[in-house]
Amino acid sequence: MPRVFFITGASSGLGRAYAQEVINRGDFVVATSRKVESLQFTGTSTKNYLPVSLEITDRASIDAALRAAVDAFGRIDVLVNNAGYGLMGIFEELTDDEINREMAVNFFATLHITRAAIQLMRDQTPCGGVIQQITSITGQCGVSMMSLYCASKWAVEGFTESIAQEMNPAWNIKFTCIEPGGFRTNFFNSISIQESKTPAYAHIDPRETAKALEKAQRGDPSKGANAMYELAVMEEPPLRIVLGSDALGHMLAKIEKYGADLKKYGHISTSTDADENEKWK
Protein backbone atom coordinates (compact mmCIF):
# COMPACT_ATOMS: atom_id res chain seq x y z
CA MET A 1 0.00 0.00 0.00
CA PRO A 2 1.27 3.51 -0.77
CA ARG A 3 2.32 5.55 2.24
CA VAL A 4 0.74 8.93 2.92
CA PHE A 5 3.23 11.74 3.61
CA PHE A 6 2.17 15.07 5.14
CA ILE A 7 4.88 17.68 4.46
CA THR A 8 4.87 21.23 5.80
CA GLY A 9 6.77 23.98 4.01
CA ALA A 10 6.60 22.11 0.71
CA SER A 11 6.72 25.08 -1.66
CA SER A 12 10.51 25.38 -1.83
CA GLY A 13 13.86 23.97 -0.80
CA LEU A 14 14.12 20.56 0.82
CA GLY A 15 10.37 20.42 1.41
CA ARG A 16 9.60 20.79 -2.26
CA ALA A 17 12.28 18.29 -3.27
CA TYR A 18 10.98 15.82 -0.69
CA ALA A 19 7.37 16.10 -1.88
CA GLN A 20 8.49 15.43 -5.46
CA GLU A 21 10.54 12.44 -4.29
CA VAL A 22 7.48 10.97 -2.58
CA ILE A 23 5.45 11.35 -5.77
CA ASN A 24 8.23 9.83 -7.85
CA ARG A 25 8.39 6.82 -5.51
CA GLY A 26 4.69 6.09 -6.01
CA ASP A 27 3.47 7.23 -2.61
CA PHE A 28 0.88 9.87 -1.74
CA VAL A 29 1.69 13.37 -0.53
CA VAL A 30 -0.21 16.10 1.24
CA ALA A 31 1.87 19.19 0.48
CA THR A 32 1.26 22.29 2.55
CA SER A 33 2.16 25.94 2.23
CA ARG A 34 0.67 29.25 3.23
CA LYS A 35 -0.13 29.77 -0.46
CA VAL A 36 -1.25 26.65 -2.32
CA GLU A 37 -0.57 28.31 -5.68
CA SER A 38 3.15 28.08 -4.84
CA LEU A 39 2.98 24.28 -4.76
CA GLN A 40 4.10 22.91 -8.13
CA PHE A 41 5.02 19.28 -8.82
CA THR A 42 5.07 16.83 -11.71
CA GLY A 43 3.31 13.49 -11.96
CA THR A 44 0.43 14.46 -9.69
CA SER A 45 -3.24 13.52 -9.77
CA THR A 46 -6.11 13.63 -7.32
CA LYS A 47 -5.22 10.06 -6.41
CA ASN A 48 -1.71 10.77 -5.16
CA TYR A 49 -1.57 14.47 -4.31
CA LEU A 50 -3.41 16.99 -2.14
CA PRO A 51 -2.27 20.62 -1.88
CA VAL A 52 -3.40 22.24 1.37
CA SER A 53 -3.17 25.80 2.64
CA LEU A 54 -1.62 25.83 6.11
CA GLU A 55 -0.83 28.68 8.47
CA ILE A 56 1.58 26.79 10.65
CA THR A 57 1.15 29.03 13.72
CA ASP A 58 -2.65 28.68 13.73
CA ARG A 59 -3.94 25.61 15.59
CA ALA A 60 -7.27 25.69 13.77
CA SER A 61 -5.41 25.70 10.46
CA ILE A 62 -3.29 22.73 11.62
CA ASP A 63 -6.38 20.75 12.61
CA ALA A 64 -8.12 21.58 9.32
CA ALA A 65 -5.09 20.53 7.25
CA LEU A 66 -4.71 17.20 9.05
CA ARG A 67 -8.44 16.57 8.71
CA ALA A 68 -8.26 17.27 4.98
CA ALA A 69 -5.41 14.76 4.66
CA VAL A 70 -7.33 12.03 6.46
CA ASP A 71 -10.50 12.79 4.52
CA ALA A 72 -8.57 12.44 1.24
CA PHE A 73 -6.37 9.44 1.99
CA GLY A 74 -7.70 7.84 5.16
CA ARG A 75 -4.52 8.14 7.24
CA ILE A 76 -1.12 9.78 7.63
CA ASP A 77 1.94 7.53 7.69
CA VAL A 78 4.73 10.12 7.70
CA LEU A 79 4.57 13.63 9.14
CA VAL A 80 7.41 15.85 7.97
CA ASN A 81 7.77 19.02 10.04
CA ASN A 82 9.80 21.00 7.54
CA ALA A 83 8.29 24.50 7.64
CA GLY A 84 10.54 27.05 9.27
CA TYR A 85 11.59 30.66 9.52
CA GLY A 86 15.16 31.91 9.45
CA LEU A 87 16.33 34.82 11.59
CA MET A 88 19.86 36.16 11.61
CA GLY A 89 21.16 39.00 13.71
CA ILE A 90 23.03 39.94 16.85
CA PHE A 91 21.16 38.61 19.86
CA GLU A 92 21.38 41.80 21.89
CA GLU A 93 19.65 43.72 19.10
CA LEU A 94 16.80 41.32 18.33
CA THR A 95 13.35 42.58 19.30
CA ASP A 96 10.87 40.62 21.40
CA ASP A 97 8.60 40.35 18.35
CA GLU A 98 11.40 38.84 16.25
CA ILE A 99 12.29 36.39 19.01
CA ASN A 100 8.67 35.39 19.58
CA ARG A 101 8.06 34.85 15.88
CA GLU A 102 11.12 32.64 15.53
CA MET A 103 10.02 30.41 18.40
CA ALA A 104 6.37 30.44 17.28
CA VAL A 105 7.15 29.18 13.79
CA ASN A 106 10.07 26.85 14.46
CA PHE A 107 9.19 25.42 17.86
CA PHE A 108 5.62 25.97 19.02
CA ALA A 109 4.12 25.19 15.60
CA THR A 110 6.14 21.97 15.47
CA LEU A 111 4.99 21.13 18.99
CA HIS A 112 1.30 21.61 18.15
CA ILE A 113 1.29 19.67 14.89
CA THR A 114 3.35 16.86 16.45
CA ARG A 115 0.85 16.48 19.29
CA ALA A 116 -2.06 16.31 16.85
CA ALA A 117 -0.20 13.78 14.67
CA ILE A 118 0.60 11.51 17.63
CA GLN A 119 -3.09 11.31 18.50
CA LEU A 120 -4.00 10.62 14.88
CA MET A 121 -1.32 7.95 14.36
CA ARG A 122 -2.17 6.24 17.64
CA ASP A 123 -5.88 6.01 16.79
CA GLN A 124 -5.74 5.10 13.10
CA THR A 125 -5.99 1.49 11.92
CA PRO A 126 -3.43 0.05 11.73
CA CYS A 127 -1.82 2.40 14.23
CA GLY A 128 1.63 3.86 13.76
CA GLY A 129 3.67 6.25 11.71
CA VAL A 130 6.88 8.22 11.45
CA ILE A 131 7.36 11.82 12.57
CA GLN A 132 10.36 13.50 11.00
CA GLN A 133 11.49 16.77 12.54
CA ILE A 134 13.60 18.66 10.00
CA THR A 135 15.81 20.60 12.37
CA SER A 136 19.33 21.58 11.32
CA ILE A 137 22.94 21.03 12.25
CA THR A 138 22.35 24.30 14.09
CA GLY A 139 20.09 22.25 16.36
CA GLN A 140 23.30 20.64 17.63
CA CYS A 141 26.01 23.22 16.92
CA GLY A 142 25.62 26.90 17.72
CA VAL A 143 26.25 29.44 14.96
CA SER A 144 27.15 33.08 15.51
CA MET A 145 24.30 35.52 14.79
CA MET A 146 21.78 32.68 14.50
CA SER A 147 21.18 32.33 18.24
CA LEU A 148 17.38 32.24 18.13
CA TYR A 149 17.27 29.99 15.07
CA CYS A 150 19.63 27.61 16.88
CA ALA A 151 17.56 27.87 20.08
CA SER A 152 14.37 26.96 18.23
CA LYS A 153 16.00 23.93 16.61
CA TRP A 154 17.62 22.78 19.86
CA ALA A 155 14.20 23.03 21.49
CA VAL A 156 12.71 20.72 18.86
CA GLU A 157 15.58 18.26 19.38
CA GLY A 158 15.12 18.06 23.16
CA PHE A 159 11.34 17.95 22.92
CA THR A 160 11.46 15.13 20.37
CA GLU A 161 14.02 13.06 22.25
CA SER A 162 11.81 13.28 25.34
CA ILE A 163 8.46 12.43 23.78
CA ALA A 164 9.95 9.52 21.85
CA GLN A 165 10.45 7.88 25.25
CA GLU A 166 6.77 8.42 26.15
CA MET A 167 5.45 6.33 23.28
CA ASN A 168 3.96 2.91 23.94
CA PRO A 169 5.80 0.51 21.58
CA ALA A 170 2.41 -0.91 20.63
CA TRP A 171 1.56 2.40 18.95
CA ASN A 172 4.47 1.94 16.48
CA ILE A 173 5.19 5.67 16.29
CA LYS A 174 8.81 6.51 15.41
CA PHE A 175 10.68 9.82 15.52
CA THR A 176 13.71 11.11 13.64
CA CYS A 177 15.38 14.50 13.99
CA ILE A 178 16.96 15.20 10.61
CA GLU A 179 19.80 17.72 10.86
CA PRO A 180 20.77 19.07 7.45
CA GLY A 181 23.91 21.05 6.86
CA GLY A 182 24.04 23.64 4.09
CA PHE A 183 21.83 22.70 1.13
CA ARG A 184 21.69 24.69 -2.07
CA THR A 185 18.23 26.15 -1.63
CA ASN A 186 16.88 29.68 -1.35
CA PHE A 187 17.15 29.64 2.45
CA PHE A 188 19.52 32.58 2.70
CA ASN A 189 17.39 34.60 0.28
CA SER A 190 14.32 34.12 2.43
CA ILE A 191 15.64 34.58 5.98
CA SER A 192 15.31 37.81 7.92
CA ILE A 193 18.74 39.40 8.36
CA GLN A 194 19.00 42.17 10.96
CA GLU A 195 22.03 44.34 10.34
CA SER A 196 23.89 45.60 13.40
CA LYS A 197 23.32 49.13 14.64
CA THR A 198 25.57 48.83 17.69
CA PRO A 199 29.21 50.00 17.33
CA ALA A 200 30.28 47.43 19.92
CA TYR A 201 29.53 44.69 17.37
CA ALA A 202 31.50 46.19 14.51
CA HIS A 203 33.66 43.04 14.54
CA ILE A 204 30.88 40.90 13.06
CA ASP A 205 28.52 41.44 10.12
CA PRO A 206 25.32 39.37 9.79
CA ARG A 207 24.92 40.00 6.07
CA GLU A 208 28.51 39.08 5.21
CA THR A 209 28.26 35.98 7.39
CA ALA A 210 25.07 34.95 5.58
CA LYS A 211 26.83 35.35 2.23
CA ALA A 212 29.74 33.18 3.41
CA LEU A 213 27.41 30.47 4.73
CA GLU A 214 25.43 30.48 1.48
CA LYS A 215 28.59 30.17 -0.59
CA ALA A 216 29.77 27.22 1.50
CA GLN A 217 26.61 25.15 0.95
CA ARG A 218 27.38 21.66 -0.39
CA GLY A 219 24.09 19.80 -0.20
CA ASP A 220 22.01 18.76 -3.21
CA PRO A 221 18.28 19.07 -2.32
CA SER A 222 17.26 16.11 -4.50
CA LYS A 223 19.85 13.88 -2.81
CA GLY A 224 18.70 15.16 0.57
CA ALA A 225 15.12 14.29 -0.33
CA ASN A 226 16.18 10.78 -1.33
CA ALA A 227 17.92 10.30 2.01
CA MET A 228 14.91 11.58 3.96
CA TYR A 229 12.59 9.21 2.08
CA GLU A 230 14.86 6.26 2.86
CA LEU A 231 14.79 7.21 6.54
CA ALA A 232 10.99 7.42 6.46
CA VAL A 233 10.57 3.86 5.21
CA MET A 234 13.13 2.24 7.53
CA GLU A 235 11.69 -0.26 9.98
CA GLU A 236 13.76 1.27 12.80
CA PRO A 237 14.88 4.79 11.84
CA PRO A 238 17.47 6.57 14.00
CA LEU A 239 16.35 9.16 16.53
CA ARG A 240 18.63 11.70 14.88
CA ILE A 241 20.86 11.90 11.83
CA VAL A 242 22.90 14.61 10.13
CA LEU A 243 22.67 15.19 6.38
CA GLY A 244 25.67 16.44 4.46
CA SER A 245 29.43 16.04 4.80
CA ASP A 246 29.64 19.51 6.35
CA ALA A 247 27.10 18.63 9.04
CA LEU A 248 28.88 15.34 9.73
CA GLY A 249 32.22 17.14 10.10
CA HIS A 250 30.78 19.72 12.49
CA MET A 251 29.12 17.03 14.60
CA LEU A 252 32.19 14.81 14.80
CA ALA A 253 34.29 17.81 15.87
CA LYS A 254 31.74 18.69 18.55
CA ILE A 255 31.62 15.13 19.89
CA GLU A 256 35.43 15.11 20.09
CA LYS A 257 35.41 18.43 21.98
CA TYR A 258 32.67 17.18 24.31
CA GLY A 259 34.64 14.02 25.02
CA ALA A 260 37.83 15.94 25.73
CA ASP A 261 36.05 18.34 28.10
CA LEU A 262 34.28 15.52 29.93
CA LYS A 263 37.62 13.84 30.60
CA LYS A 264 39.43 17.07 31.48
CA TYR A 265 36.82 18.25 33.96
CA GLY A 266 35.48 14.89 35.07
CA HIS A 267 36.99 15.31 38.51
CA ILE A 268 34.78 18.34 39.07
CA SER A 269 31.73 16.50 37.79
CA THR A 270 32.20 13.54 40.14
CA SER A 271 33.15 15.70 43.12
CA THR A 272 29.49 16.59 43.71
CA ASP A 273 28.26 13.07 44.56
CA ALA A 274 27.09 12.49 48.13
CA ASP A 275 29.18 10.24 50.35
CA GLU A 276 27.90 6.65 50.23
CA ASN A 277 27.37 6.53 54.00
CA GLU A 278 25.41 9.78 54.04
CA LYS A 279 21.70 9.21 54.68
CA TRP A 280 19.21 10.69 52.27
CA LYS A 281 16.33 12.58 53.87
Q: Coil, helix or strand for 226?
A: helix
Compute the chain's Rg from CA coordinates: 21
Taking alpha carbons only, the member of 249, 230, 181, 234 closest to residue 22 is 230
Residue 95, in any domain of the structure: yes
* Cβ pair 176, 6 in contact under 8 A: no
Neighbours of 211 (CB within 10 A): 13
Under DSSP, is residue 163 helix (H, G, I), strand (E, B) or coil? helix
Closest CA to 131 of 180, 192, 189, 174: 174
For 31-82, the pLDDT digits (tens) are 999 999 999 999 999 999 999 999 999 999 999 999 999 999 999 999 999 9
In angstroms, rounded to a whole number, what is the distance separating the alpha carbons of residues 135 and 176? Answer: 10
- In a domain, residue 121? The reply is yes
Contact (CB, 8 A) for 213 and 188: yes
Establish if 254 belongs to a structural domain: no
Report the Cα 176 to chain-centroid distance in Å.
Answer: 9
Residue 261 forms part of a structural domain: no
3-state secondary structure of 130: strand
pLDDT attached to residue 185: 78
Does residue 252 form part of some domain?
Answer: no
pLDDT in tens, 218-274: 888 999 999 999 999 999 999 999 999 999 999 999 999 999 999 999 999 999 998
184-209 residue pLDDT tens = 877 766 778 788 888 888 898 888 87
Alpha carbon distance 193, 207 (integer Å): 7
Query: How many domains in the chain?
Result: 1
In a domain, 275, yes or no: no
Residue 77 lies in a domain: yes
pTM, to two decimals: 0.93
| 192 φ/ψ sector (left φ>0, alpha ψ -120 to 50, else beta) | beta
CATH classification at residue 71: 3.40.50.720
pLDDT-derived band at 276, boundaries 50, 70, 90: confident
In this predicted model, what pLDDT tens digit does every residue of 77-113 receive, in sequence order? 999 999 988 888 899 999 999 999 999 999 999 999 9
Residue 120 lies in a domain: yes
Tally of CB atoms within 10 A around 85: 21
Alpha-helical segments (H) within 25-145? 59-73, 96-103, 109-123
> Is 44 in contact with 217 (CB distance < 8 Å)?
no
Instruction: Give residue 47's domain range.
Output: 4-247
